Amino acid sequence: MNSKQLTLRDLNIKDELLFIKFYYKYLLSYCQEYDLQYNGLLAVEIIKLGEFIDKITSDEDAVIKDNDMKYLIRIAEGRVFKQIDELSPMYNRKNTHDILKIPRYKMYHILERHGF
């Protein structure tokens, strides 16, 4: 899948990934602070997303593995967010979609330009 041996530095999407990570981290903190009900799987999915982003952003010069590239594509297409959004009916999904639209679309167009 990543036959071009692309790195995160080549794709230049680190800022977008970090924005997404921190957005969901603070969303989860908000739910906890204000006692909003959410499915416990929501926390697990947000933690997994954060760990993935930490792993991939820790070395910008490492070649992105095929499974990681597939996950980046899922993020860019919005499929990861749909899965997370389904776990909590308590926050406005439209706002989440609007907030994440710009970083997600940038990632999508960059990946598309590289043939993914």
Total structural domains in the chain?
A: 1
In a domain, 75, yes or no: yes
CB 2 within 8 A of CB 65: yes
In a domain, 63, yes or no: yes
Which residues, other chains included, contact 44 with Cβ-Cβ below 8 Å and sequence gap of 6+?
A: none
Tell me which residue of 49, 18, 33, 13 sits closest to 41, measured CA to CA: 49
In a domain, 3, yes or no: no
In a domain, 2, yes or no: no
In a domain, 42, yes or no: yes
Q: Is the pLDDT of residue 92 over 60?
A: no
In a domain, 79, yes or no: yes
The per-residue pLDDT for 93 is 59
In a domain, 90, yes or no: yes
CA separation for the pair 60, 42 (Å, rounded): 28
In a domain, 1, yes or no: no
pLDDT in tens, 62-74: 999 999 999 999 9
- Name the residue range of residue 12's domain: 8-113
CA separation for the pair 87, 48 (Å, rounded): 14
> What's the one-letter identity of residue 77?
E
Q: Is the pLDDT of residue 89 over 90?
A: no
Rounded average pLDDT over 78-99: 70
